[in-house]
Amino acid sequence: DAGVTQTPRHEVAEKGQTIILKCEPVSGHNDLFWYRQTKIQGLELLSYFRSKSLMEDGGAFKDRFKAEMLNSSFSTLKIQPTEPKDSAVYLCASSLRGRQDTQYFGPGTRLLVL
Where does this chain touch another protein (CB under 8 A) — which range of 12-20, 64-72, 73-81, 93-101?
93-101
Query: Is there binding between residue 58 and another protein (CB under 8 A)?
Result: no
Query: Is there binding between residue 25 and another protein (CB under 8 A)?
Result: no
Size of the site for another protein (CB under 8 A): 16
Nearest CA to 111 out of 36, 25, 58 is that of: 36
Residue 61: helix, strand or coil by DSSP? helix
Q: What is the CA radius of gyration of the chain?
A: 13
Among 53, 63, 70, 101, binds another protein (CB under 8 A): 101
Among 8, 15, 28, 43, binds another protein (CB under 8 A): 43
Whether the upstream peptide bond of residue 25 has omega within 30° of 0, thus cis, is: no
Cβ 42 to another protein shortest distance, Å:
4
Amino acid in the structure at residue 51:
S
